[in-house]
């Protein structure tokens, strides 16, 4: 039997199964666990009680030790043992080794349930802010690509069949806009993560005058989650919201990857991927494959799976804390890792893509101009349906149409000659500005609590 910090003896197999991957995954929560504890202990020291739980000088002692643990963790030196079970017990063990009885007081009025919930939310905030930073770089790359090749004609497709004149600028900023608009979901997920569950304890509050607004301020959250039971119910929900937003973003990125794969295959050849971004075959000497983009597609499927797993876990779970929730950690951590690396690699690929202008122009079959030609007939008085039939019966007349003229002819908002690059510049700058404000505010809190 193994003895744990809570002193109950647990069968080693049961312990190993219930601990699961926590000792490894929780290493990513050490900083956030220490930050949460520093805020909790500071708040405890300010509580108006006849006999204080901890005094202010004691709280400062704890804070200094927590800062030392954070330093150790940042250099990769902090260890979570199996009999610690998780980061929370590991930190308490170390504080007790260093500070004796004072270390044993830090968990007063708190449960691992609100503790882990606050750790995860701090971690989510940090990760999402980094992700926003990577997304801004991808958006910059897409918009720069669009600007550079703005008016290069590209066959616009529906059902994958040639449809109407498009342009490289339209294609590229179209993908950028999909990503930009998708950020409203990610922003909503960030706002959900920005709520403080600390002080809900096991999910039902405690008979101590906890100042939950104080820890909310110290930790830099927008507001506390009001209801203690609600705060415990929100564990996993918040992670699922993040994963839902990530899955949707990844679906958008997967379509970008798919377009790049198609348009760079020899049969299209509108685009060229740099040789060094392609991987070869062990048997076919001629091969340069877009493996990197194929993996973007598969990662999108993977993140969707993680999102489904996170919701599936929740839907039949009774109210209050259940250990099932421990498994939500791997899901959101994996989802964020996969998404961040995907966004980063796509920014690199987009920067490297070359455009083959003659191939883009050569792809314009007469039919691509048909709708434009019918609309010219409308302009000279022919009813639309008659113009439509007339053009369809004489597609051969369109053999000499000029793709560049067709691109230049559509000047309304968002059409080939109406792409407003300033709009994209401002929208991206806004995303960047919001991200930076949040980052600065958050870093101030981190610094004040744990250095
Ligand atoms: N490692 C646990 C988790 O992630 C910590 C909370 C444990 N709480 C409990 N009541 N057993 O959920």
- pLDDT tens for 246-272 read 999 999 999 999 999 999 999 999 999
Residue 186 CA to residue 291 CA, distance in Å, equals 28
What is the whole-number distance in angstroms between the Cα of residue 450 and the centre of ligand 1?
Answer: 23
Residue in the structure block whose two tokens are 């204080």 = 52
Q: CB–CB of 353/154 below 8 Å?
A: no
Secondary structure class of 239 (helix, strand, coil): helix
What is the whole-number distance in angstroms between the Cα of residue 49 and the centre of ligand 1?
Answer: 29
212 within domain boundaries: yes
Q: Please check whether residues 212 and 255 belong to one and the same domain.
A: yes
Q: Please check whether residues 73 and 36 belong to one and the same domain.
A: yes
292 within domain boundaries: yes
Closest CA to 339 of 39, 32, 132, 60: 132
50 within domain boundaries: yes
Q: Please check whether residues 175 and 303 belong to one and the same domain.
A: yes
Secondary structure class of 318 (helix, strand, coil): coil
Closest CA to 310 of 331, 326, 292, 296: 331
Closest CA to 205 of 183, 178, 226: 226
0.85 exceeded by the pTM?
Answer: yes
Tokens (6 digits) for 396: 């051969």
Residue 430 CA to residue 300 CA, distance in Å, equals 26
Mutate to test the pocket of ligand 1, among 19, 80, 89, 112 (most ligand atoms within 8 A of CB): 112
- pLDDT tens for 169-180 read 999 999 999 999
Residue 427 clears pLDDT 80, i.e. is over it: yes
Distance of CA 357 to the CA centre of its chain: 35
What is the whole-number distance in angstroms between the Cα of residue 19 and the centre of ligand 1?
Answer: 9
145 within domain boundaries: yes
Mutate to test the pocket of ligand 1, among 113, 114, 200, 329 (most ligand atoms within 8 A of CB): 113
Mean pLDDT to the nearest integer, 209-215: 98
User: What is the DSSP annotation of 167-228?
Assistant: EHHHHHHHHHHHHHHHHHHHHHHHHHHTEE-TT-TTTT--SS---HHHHHHHHT-SEE-S-H
Q: CB–CB of 378/388 below 8 Å?
A: no
Residue 34 CA to residue 103 CA, distance in Å, equals 13
According to DSSP, the residues that pair with 3 across neighbouring strands are 9
Task: Answer yes or no: is the C-beta of 326 below 6 A from any ligand 1 atom.
Answer: yes
- To 10 degrees, the CA torsion angle through 19, 243, 119, 326? -20
Q: Which pLDDT belongs to residue 83?
A: 84
CATH at 56: 1.10.275.10
What is the whole-number distance in angstroms between the Cα of residue 327 and the centre of ligand 1?
Answer: 10
Distance of CA 169 to the CA centre of its chain: 26
The CB density around residue 46, as the number of other CB atoms within 10 Å, is 14
Residue 115 CA to residue 111 CA, distance in Å, equals 6
Task: Answer yes or no: is the C-beta of 112 below 6 A from any ligand 1 atom.
Answer: yes
Q: Please check whether residues 223 and 314 belong to one and the same domain.
A: yes
Mean pLDDT to the nearest integer, 356-375: 97
- pLDDT tens for 400-420 read 999 999 999 999 999 999 999
Q: Please check whether residues 208 and 135 belong to one and the same domain.
A: yes
190 within domain boundaries: yes
76 within domain boundaries: yes
Range of the domain at 384: 366-400
Which domain-ending residue is among 92, 108, 124? Answer: 108
Residue 3 clears pLDDT 80, i.e. is over it: no
What is the whole-number distance in angstroms between the Cα of residue 241 and the centre of ligand 1?
Answer: 20
Residue 181 CA to residue 350 CA, distance in Å, equals 19
Mutate to test the pocket of ligand 1, among 28, 37, 86, 123 (most ligand atoms within 8 A of CB): 86
Q: Please check whether residues 324 and 352 belong to one and the same domain.
A: yes
Q: Please check whether residues 131 and 230 belong to one and the same domain.
A: yes
Nearest residue (by CA) to ligand 1, atom 10, is: 113
Q: Please check whether residues 338 and 372 belong to one and the same domain.
A: no
Per-residue CA distances from 194 to 89, 118, 220, 245 (Å):
25, 10, 8, 15
Task: Answer yes or no: is the C-beta of 116 below 6 A from any ligand 1 atom.
Answer: yes
Q: Please check whether residues 173 and 76 belong to one and the same domain.
A: no
Closest ligand 1 atom to 22 CA: 1
Closest ligand 1 atom to 87 CA: 1
Q: Where residue 144 falls among pLDDT bands split at 50, 70, 90? A: very high
CATH at 332: 1.20.200.10
Task: Answer yes or no: is the C-beta of 70 below 6 A from any ligand 1 atom.
Answer: no
Residue 60 clears pLDDT 80, i.e. is over it: yes
Closest ligand 1 atom to 19 CA: 1
Task: Answer yes or no: is the C-beta of 113 below 6 A from any ligand 1 atom.
Answer: yes
What is the whole-number distance in angstroms between the Cα of residue 323 and the centre of ligand 1?
Answer: 6
Residue 282 clears pLDDT 70, i.e. is over it: yes
Mean pLDDT to the nearest integer, 206-231: 98
Nearest residue (by CA) to ligand 1, atom 5, is: 112
Nearest residue (by CA) to ligand 1, atom 4, is: 326
CA atoms within 13 A on the CB side of 263: 27
State the catalytic residues: 159, 281
Mutate to test the pocket of ligand 1, among 26, 326, 329 (most ligand atoms within 8 A of CB): 326
423 within domain boundaries: yes
The CB density around residue 9, as the number of other CB atoms within 10 Å, is 10
Q: Please check whether residues 439 and 386 belong to one and the same domain.
A: no
139 within domain boundaries: yes
Q: Please check whether residues 36 and 100 belong to one and the same domain.
A: yes
Nearest residue (by CA) to ligand 1, atom 12, is: 326
Name 410's Cβ contacts closer than 8 Å, sequence gap at least 6.
165, 416, 417, 418
What is the whole-number distance in angstroms between the Cα of residue 435 and the centre of ligand 1?
Answer: 31
Q: Which range among 78-87, 329-338, 346-355, 440-449 shows the weakest confidence by mean pLDDT?
A: 78-87
Domain count, the chain: 3
Residue 2 clears pLDDT 70, i.e. is over it: no
Name 276's Cβ contacts closer than 8 Å, sequence gap at least 6.
none
Q: Please check whether residues 259 and 385 belong to one and the same domain.
A: no
Task: Answer yes or no: is the C-beta of 86 below 6 A from any ligand 1 atom.
Answer: yes
């Amino acid at each position: 039997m193994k003895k744990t910090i809570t002193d109950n003896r647990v069968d080693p197999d049961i312990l190993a199964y219930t601990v699961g991957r926590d000792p490894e995954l929780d290493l990513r929560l050490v900083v956030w666990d220490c930050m949460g504890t520093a805020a909790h202990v500071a708040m405890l020291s300010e509580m108006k009680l006849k006999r204080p739980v901890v005094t202010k000088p004691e709280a400062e002692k704890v804070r200094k030790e927590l800062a030392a643990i954070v330093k150790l963790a940042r250099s990769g030196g902090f260890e979570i043992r199996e009999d610690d079970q998780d980061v929370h017990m590991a930190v308490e063990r170390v504080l007790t080794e260093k500070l004796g009885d004072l270390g044993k007081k830090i968990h007063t009025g708190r449960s691992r349930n609100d503790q882990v919930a606050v750790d995860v939310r701090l971690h989510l905030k940090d990760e999402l802010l980094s992700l926003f930073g990577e997304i801004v770089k991808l958006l910059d790359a897409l918009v720069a690509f669009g600007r550079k090749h703005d008016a290069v004609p590209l066959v616009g497709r529906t059902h994958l069949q040639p449809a109407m004149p498009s342009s490289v600028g339209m294609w590229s900023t179209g993908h950028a806009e999909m990503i930009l608009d998708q950020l409203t979901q990610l922003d909503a997920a960030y706002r959900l993560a920005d709520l403080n569950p600390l002080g809900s304890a096991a999910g039902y509050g405690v008979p101590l005058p906890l100042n939950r607004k104080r820890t909310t301020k110290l930790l830099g959250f927008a507001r506390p989650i009001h209801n203690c039971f609600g705060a415990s119910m929100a564990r996993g929900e918040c992670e699922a919201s993040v994963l839902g937003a990530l899955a949707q973003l990844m679906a958008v990125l997967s379509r970008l990857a798919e377009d790049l794969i198609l348009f760079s295959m020899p049969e299209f050849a509108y685009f060229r991927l740099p040789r060094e971004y392609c991987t070869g075959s062990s048997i076919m000497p001629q091969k340069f494959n877009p493996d990197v983009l194929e993996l973007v597609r598969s990662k999108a499927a993977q993140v969707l799976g993680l999102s489904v797993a996170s919701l599936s876990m929740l839907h039949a779970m009774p109210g209050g804390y259940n250990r099932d929730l421990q498994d939500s950690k791997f899901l959101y951590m994996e989802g964020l890792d996969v998404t961040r690396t995907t966004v980063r690699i796509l920014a690199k690929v987009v920067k490297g893509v070359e455009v083959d202008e003659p191939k883009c122009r050569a792809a314009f079959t007469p039919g691509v101009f048909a709708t434009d030609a019918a609309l010219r007939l409308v302009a000279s008085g022919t009813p639309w349906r008659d113009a439509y039939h007339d053009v369809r019966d004489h597609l051969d007349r369109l053999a000499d149409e000029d793709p560049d003229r067709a691109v230049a002819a559509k000047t309304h908002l968002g059409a080939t000659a109406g792409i407003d690059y300033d709009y994209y510049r401002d929208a991206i700058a806004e995303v960047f500005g919001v991200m930076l404000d949040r980052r600065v505010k958050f870093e101030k809190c981190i610094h004040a609590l744990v250095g």
